[in-house]
């Protein structure tokens, strides 16, 4: 099993450009999440999904959109990138929801710089 994979690993964008980050998991997990990690702030939840075809907002959803067309994939889109979106983005998945105290498995991260 590859676990949780993310593409790309690194990306540099100019302000106003768009891009999509791809997360894939091969563990048949129902729940998937997108976080961003900034220095001194810890990880913050952007969006999450509780199953194929569903998405929900997290703590910091503005400027991002997501889609979960297939159970194994969770896409994060930036329509018009801003320097404030420079961050490390982590995808995670879990078998059950977090209220059930289920373990989250994280991908290796995508380092995004917006100039």
Partner 1 sequence: RKEVEQDPGPFNVPEGATVAFNCTYSNSASQSFFWYRQDCRKEPKLLMSVYSSGNEDGRFTAQLNRASQYISLLIRDSKLSDSATYLCVVNPYNNDMRFGAGTRLTVKP
What is the DSSP secondary-structure string of 95-108?
Answer: SS-GGGTPPPEE--
CB of 95 to partner 1, least distance (A): 13
Binding segment (CB under 8 A) for partner 1, from list 16-24, 61-69, 74-82, 105-113:
105-113
- 8 near partner 1 (CB under 8 A): no
- 104 near partner 1 (CB under 8 A): yes
CA dihedral in degrees (5, 30, 97, 65; nearest 10)? 60
Among 17, 20, 44, 77, binds partner 1 (CB under 8 A): 44
In the structure encoding, which two tokens stand for residue 72, read together?
A: 């194994």
Alpha carbon distance 63, 73 (integer Å): 20
- 1 near partner 1 (CB under 8 A): no
Alpha carbon distance 72, 61 (integer Å): 21
- 59 near partner 1 (CB under 8 A): yes
Alpha carbon distance 32, 27 (integer Å): 11
Among 10, 14, 62, 99, binds partner 1 (CB under 8 A): 99
Binding site for partner 1 (CB under 8 A): 31, 33, 35, 40-45, 48, 50, 56, 58-59, 90, 97-99, 101, 103-104, 106-109
């Amino acid at each position: 099993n590859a676990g949780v994979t993310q593409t790309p690993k690194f990306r540099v964008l100019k302000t106003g450009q768009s891009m999509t980050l791809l997360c894939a998991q091969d563990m048949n997990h129902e729940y998937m999440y997108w976080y961003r990690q900034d220095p001194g702030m810890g990880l913050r939840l952007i969006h999450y999904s509780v199953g194929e075809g569903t998405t929900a907002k997290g703590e910091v959803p503005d400027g991002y959109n997501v889609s979960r067309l297939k159970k194994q994939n969770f896409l994060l889109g930036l329509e018009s990138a801003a320097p404030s979106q420079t961050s490390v983005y982590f995808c995670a998945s879990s078998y059950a929801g977090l209220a059930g105290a289920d373990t989250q498995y994280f991908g290796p991260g995508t380092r995004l710089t917006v100039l």
